[in-house]
A and B are shown apart, each in its own frame.
Chain A
Amino acid sequence: MDGNFMSDQWVEIGRADQIPTRGARLVRIAGKQIGVFKTAGGEVFALDNQCPHKKGPLTEGIVHDTGVTCPLHNWVIDLQSGKARGADEGCVRTYRIDNRDGRLFLSLAE
């Protein structure tokens, strides 16, 4: 499937219940590695799966409130804004994601 999506399309990537609560899954679309995160409250977010620090895979981090702690050096990335919290500076790209009755759709549009 990889690589066949138009950048302005919504892509169905799976179901919300396939993502562990306070956890994440990786999805590969159009050559991108995108992390899909689910918070304790069931909210779902999508971000490039690369920590702005040294490209740590954010999907392997610990998810808490609406943030994820990177597994490599503990930066905390805000899932809503993609920005590093606290004194760290850096930002990852976020993607729009839509939860339609448990089915997840992701948009590559800017």
Chain B
Amino acid sequence: MSKPKLVVIGNGMAGARVLEDLFELAPDMYDVTMFGAEPRPNYNRIMLSPVLAGESTFDDIVINDLDWYRDHDVDLKLGVAVDGIDRDAKIVRGADGEETPYDKLVLATGSDPFIIPVPGHDLPGVITFRDLDDVDQMLTACKSGGRAVVIGGGLLGLEAAHGLSKNGMDVTIIHLMDTLMERQLDQPAGYLLEKELSNRGMQVLTKANTEEIFGDDKVEGVRLKDGREIPAEIVVMAVGIRPNSALAKTAGLDVERGVLVDDSMTTSDADILSVGECIQHRGACYGLVAPIWDMCRAAAGKLADAEGPMFEGAEVSTKLKVSGVDVFSAGDFADGEDREEIVFRDAARGVYKRLVLEDDKLIGAVMYGDTADGAYFFQRIKDAEPVEPDERETLIFGQSFAGGAPVDPMAAVAALPDEAEICGCNGVSKGKIVTAIGEKGLTDIDGVRACTKASSSCGTCTGLVEQLLALSLGDAFDANAVKTMCGCTDLGHDEVRRLILAKELKSVPAVMQELNWKTSCGCAKCRPALNYYLLASWPGEYVDDAQSRFINERAHANIQKDGTFSVVPRAWGGMTTSSELRAIADVVDKFEIPTVKYTGGQRIDMLGVKKEDLPAVWADLNAAGMVSGHAYGKSLRTVKTCVGTDWCRFGTQDSTGLGIKLEKMMWGSWTPHKVKLAVSGCPRNCAEATCKDIGVVCVDSGYEIHFAGAAGMHVKATELLCNVATEEEALEYCAAVMQLYREQGWYLERIYKWADRVGVDKIQAQIVEDDSNRLKLFERFLFAQRFAQDDPWAERATGGVAAHEFAPLEPVAAAE
């Protein structure tokens, strides 16, 4: 007997989720056809904001790739919109004219961005913010820079503004109301938000009413009702969304603002269900994903004929995804006569929190600046349990204060109810994760990601998921349990490093052969890692494999987005001379290098050099005594210094001199990830040594040796390794840290991550407490350096190494 036919219209977040839930309940029940108007697989729409801001890529946000549809036998009609539904014949008609019969139909058409119909709204350059094409359009516009106007100061508008501003646009936000995000925030929080955005260089115009978008054949600007004109090359319209219910309406289903559904998500036609932003349920339409997950569960249950939870409406909470700005709100926080509020402010830290109580119950929360307790308050709102009188005083301090003493995080996670949401991006509850761990025998975070999607989007809940793993598995869970290097092997980094030494493997092919690599010659992930491990394991013996290096390390310059390169010569300890500067100036003129810039690392970067010119550029720099700064390498980058006792009235030691000595000792060494140092002449720390991979702070009595700092994607102050008295010791200790990292670090793991994984105390034990071990590390480092300190530029400019890298092939002749 053939299976009943299920057709889903809309391959968005809701449509695909219904299928996922259905396959879990009843894997083979239907023949499934999925129509998606967008020409791409299903992705996490909420993550378009980080994609726009350059904090994520499209690849990172795909939820189900094409293989998933294939594996589940879903007939996916990509890029095909459905034009009409014939409910009598039970057929849907695609834009390609084809007709597809259904027994059950799911409408998941989402919503359309609302466009205010002012004059000029249809000019080229007016963009909405809904799908990947919109993001691509914005990014293209950003390339040529200029000014952007965002109309709408709600969640979407602000995320768009943030993204555009991060891409270098000059952004003005036009908002009709007097407070930004007025639906989610109260006035004080809106004020803090506005201040922060202004600090970041965005202009915020509230109470601003758009009269028209002007321009001849494309956008040139926006005119407000009060006559003001704001010039702009693009206008992003983010004033709201409208349920996309036209298709349902034409088909004769009951539709008001959205498609009307009951608690099982069934429309006025018993064979047609609807989920997502296109629906209206008990009078409410939704524009956030959390309630959508509940809708999908209910709909899947209905389709599978299974007993299960119905959709009974949902409380929603909001979090703004603008990096560095923490805003959270949930529930109802309007003022009211019978309502009480608890407010906390800390002006110095820019923190504002407000809780609203009614009948002794928490009904709303707004937080700005410190949102760590967001999930806790949201849960309290949903629980609707009364707040005890003696709890009032401390409620605003959140979970860690509840019960008087700070709660340990494990106990806090253990105490969460099963329905507590752990992963906000994918709507995964604690119960679902714990069940998956038990039933599927999951033992690590990757397993949880694969089975439940928890922690697979923005990753902020990774810690919580790890605690759940620990809670469920007890001692069996090891947060550092083997993570395989890549799809080419089942081994983890540690294993591979150990086996390279134990089996004396000395080439990439040998490793792949002896360790049963699953691919013929690896991939772009494992090859560079193996090349490094071999280099670090067999100094002087292993022959570097250029073809396993990323282009920057192969060409000894940084590739730029247009295929040109940048060149950064070393400036030892951040020092330079008039003759070096003159030589740089000459090179810039001679090779017509378009951009010269001081880097954040106290040296000069020449950007936009053609690849074929690189050897000649280097030859000229070499002639003036300069060598490669390895700005492109997983290697020693910079050693920043301050002027120290040379000049500064506070200097305690010769910080510049020590910095130069460190750089001369360490340059050229290859490392798991890049390594940056700094030496400050006194605790005022002008060289910023305490956020470096290795940092030295000079003090009267000698030198503080620090390590494991970070100031990139994560900002973290260093750990103090120890204090030493002499410059010789400072050099020796720093080198020992470097060598231990070279021997233990996983490829692409910065020093702070390595330290976090193996433990700061373990590192101290091997370097500070064990003198002979430290000495051996130091010697091994110096030994390896004997083979590493040849200037790669000179080797290529005049030494004839890798000439093929820089010259194209010359065609010989035409042949018959």
Contacts and interface: CB of A to CB of B under 8 A. Distances in A.
Contact of B59 (A18, A41, A61, A88): A88
Nearest to A26: B808
B811 A27 contact: yes
A14 B810 contact: yes
B809 A64 contact: no
B40 A65 contact: no
A1 B811 contact: yes
Given A22-B547, A27-B811, A40 B559 contact: no
Nearest to B561: A72
Contacts of B816: 9-10
A11 B521 contact: no
Interface in A66-110: 69, 71-74, 76, 86-89, 105
Interface in B793-816: 804, 808-816
B566 interface: no
A14 B527 contact: no
B62 interface: yes
Interface stretch (B397-405, B461-469, B548-556): B548-556
A11 B524 CA distance: 31
B550 A10 contact: no
Nearest to B64: A87
A51 to B, nearest CB: 10
A89 B290 CA distance: 30
Contacts of A86: 65
B666 to A, nearest CB: 27
Interface in B37-91: 39-41, 57, 59, 62, 65-66
B811 A14 contact: yes
B480 interface: no
Contacts of B524: 61-62, 64, 69, 74, 76
A72 B551 CA distance: 10
Given A60-B551, A65-B521, A87 B809 contact: no
B164 to A, nearest CB: 19
B577 interface: no
Contacts of A64: 519-524, 527
A62 B547 contact: yes
A88 B62 CA distance: 10
B607 to A, nearest CB: 16
Interface in A1-21: 1, 4-6, 9-14, 18-21
A60 B559 contact: yes
Contact of A27 (B527, B561, B808): B808
A28 B813 contact: no
Most buried by A among B549, B550, B814: B814
A71 B564 CA distance: 12
Nearest to A29: B811
A15 B538 CA distance: 33
A20 B814 contact: no
Interface in B518-557: 519-524, 527-528, 546-551, 554-555
Nearest to B814: A9
Interface in B762-813: 804, 808-813
B626 to A, nearest CB: 24
B600 interface: no
Contact of A69 (B62, B523, B554, B561): B523
Nearest to A36: B809
Contacts of A18: 804, 809
Contact of B520 (A40, A57, A62, A88): A40
Contacts of A47: none
Interface string A38-57: 01110000000000001111
A54 B563 CA distance: 11
Contacts of B59: 74, 87-88
A40 B521 contact: yes
Nearest to B555: A60
B56 to A, nearest CB: 12
B563 A28 contact: no
Contact of B65 (A22, A29, A71, A87): A87
Interface residues of B, number: 37
A11 B65 contact: no
Most buried by A among B528, B810, B815: B815
A44 to B, nearest CB: 12
A25 B807 CA distance: 8
Contacts of B813: 11-12
Contacts of B521: 22, 39-40, 64-65
A6 to B, nearest CB: 7
A54 B58 CA distance: 13
Contacts of A29: 811
Contacts of A25: 804, 808-809
A74 B58 CA distance: 12
Contacts of A61: 524, 551
A36 B549 CA distance: 18
B548 A62 contact: yes
Contact of B519 (A36, A39, A65): A65
Contacts of B66: 87
Given A20-B547, A65-B521, A73 B57 contact: yes
Contacts of A4: 814
Nearest to A21: B547
A20 to B, nearest CB: 6
A10 B809 CA distance: 16
B815 A12 contact: yes
Most buried by B among A6, A57, A87: A87
Contacts of B65: 86-87
A37 B321 CA distance: 42
A60 B550 CA distance: 8
Nearest to B547: A22
A55 to B, nearest CB: 8
Contacts of A9: 814-816
A6 B815 CA distance: 11
Nearest to B808: A26
A72 B559 CA distance: 8
A87 B41 contact: yes
A88 to B, nearest CB: 7
Contact of B559 (A21, A62, A71): A71
A6 B814 contact: yes
A5 B699 CA distance: 70
B551 A12 contact: no
A87 B62 CA distance: 8
Nearest to B522: A64
Contacts of B555: 60
Nearest to B488: A64
A65 to B, nearest CB: 5
A25 B808 CA distance: 6
Nearest to A12: B812
Given A5-B814, A64-B522, A74-B524, A23 B559 contact: no
B111 to A, nearest CB: 25
B546 A20 contact: yes
A23 B41 CA distance: 32
B145 to A, nearest CB: 17
A40 B548 CA distance: 12
Given A20-B804, A74-B524, A87-B66, A13 B811 contact: yes
A10 to B, nearest CB: 5
A89 B40 contact: yes
Interface string B661-675: 000000000000000
B547 A63 contact: yes
B530 to A, nearest CB: 12
12 contacts: A11-B811, A11-B812, A14-B809, A14-B811, A19-B804, A20-B546, A27-B809, A28-B811, A29-B811, A57-B563, A62-B524, A87-B65
Interface of B: 39-41, 57, 59, 62, 65-66, 519-524, 527-528, 546-551, 554-555, 559, 561, 563, 804, 808-816
Given A62-B548, A69-B524, 7 more contacts: A1-B810, A22-B521, A56-B563, A57-B563, A65-B519, A71-B550, A89-B39
| The 7 nearest A-B residue pairs measured at CB | A69-B524, A60-B551, A87-B65, A12-B812, A26-B808, A22-B547, A27-B809
